[in-house]
A and B are shown apart, each in its own frame.
Chain A
């Protein structure tokens, strides 16, 4: 069985989110997409309050995009990372129907990809992947149009000070993590490997991880015309104040 692989050039936050939604709403061709964010961006979960989670003034001053996702979960600073999105029909038996099972299965593909790089990672329910007890990847999922969109980040390097200068992290969340400081909560591929990894090497490792886990072959492809039309339509929504300030 073959799935489509899309390797995108870095794009702005609104276009990135529009592409993920377009793939979900278009033909529902099983797709794995790798992408990055230019300029860097903060994304928030669809149930979060923009005002409570993000220092929007500071983001604006620093030229950082801010966007609300169509998926739940928390706020993320997208800078030195590789982001992936995976779209598959809900009825496809390669992904368990239950929520926890589906998160675990898709995360296990990312974990296999990290193993290909020499990292021993594990799934930390509900939506994290950890290395040595520290978060290296977070993910979120939505189900629309009888399909699953699951997207997540992989931290290649991390500037914790910058990240938390933009995000207003609630103390309750930190308290429950058994980690004393914000710096201790997250790690990166660079930190764990002791060397940097190129986007290409990380993408290849992840691609193999998905192929191994799902028993599929990923074939390089691109967005179709119908999808690009949807991207244009959806991008406007993601860039709108009414969407981003809706909660």
Chain B
């Protein structure tokens, strides 16, 4: 079952995550919303890099993907995405 969380980033845009978990490992993820990301193809890199990772690995993994691919996030930051995924996990456990 997919866990979901919608996070309106303060002074930013809306991040909607739909996440599949096995324990603390993310098995599937879809990130949607009204945010901006340049280049737009970066969303595929972000989603791919998240799959198979533990929650606590996400911040450094995503920081590296953003840096290595010169991705520019507008309306959200990596920490916001990690937060949204973490909240989806918390919601799943309730």
A binding-site residues for B, Cβ under 8 Å: 45-49, 52, 70-75, 99-100, 125-127, 140-144, 170, 172-173, 175-176, 247
Contacts and interface: CB of A to CB of B under 8 A. Distances in A.
B8 A47 contact: no
A126 B74 contact: yes
User: Interface SS of chain B: helix, strand, loop or mixed?
Assistant: strand
Contacts of A48: 32-34
A47 B34 contact: yes
B91 to A, nearest CB: 14
A211 B22 CA distance: 57
A175 B72 contact: no
9 contacts: A72-B34, A72-B74, A75-B34, A100-B74, A140-B36, A142-B38, A172-B7, A175-B8, A247-B32
Size bin of chain B's contact surface: 20 to 34
Interface in B45-76: 72, 74-75
Given A99-B74, A172-B6, A126 B36 contact: yes
Given A52-B16, A126-B74, A70 B40 contact: yes
Contact of A126 (B8, B12, B37, B43): B12
A75 B34 CA distance: 8
Given A45-B34, A47-B40, A72-B36, 16 more contacts: A48-B33, A49-B16, A52-B16, A52-B32, A71-B36, A73-B34, A74-B34, A99-B36, A99-B72, A126-B12, A126-B36, A126-B74, A142-B38, A170-B16, A172-B14, A173-B8
Nearest to B40: A46
B33 A47 contact: yes
A141 B16 contact: no
A144 B39 CA distance: 8
Contacts of B14: 74, 170, 172-173
A70 B14 CA distance: 18
Nearest to B31: A47
Contact of A142 (B16, B35, B40): B40
A179 B41 CA distance: 34
A46 to B, nearest CB: 5
Nearest to B8: A172
A207 B63 CA distance: 41
B6 to A, nearest CB: 5
Contacts of B16: 49, 52, 170
Q: Which of B12, B31, B32, B43 has the most CB of A within 10 A?
A: B32
A74 B33 CA distance: 7
Q: Which 10 A-B pairs have the closest CB atoms?
A: A74-B34, A72-B36, A172-B8, A49-B32, A176-B8, A99-B74, A172-B6, A45-B34, A173-B14, A73-B34
Contacts of B33: 45, 47-48
Nearest to A140: B36
A175 B14 CA distance: 12
A126 B39 contact: no
Contacts of A141: 36
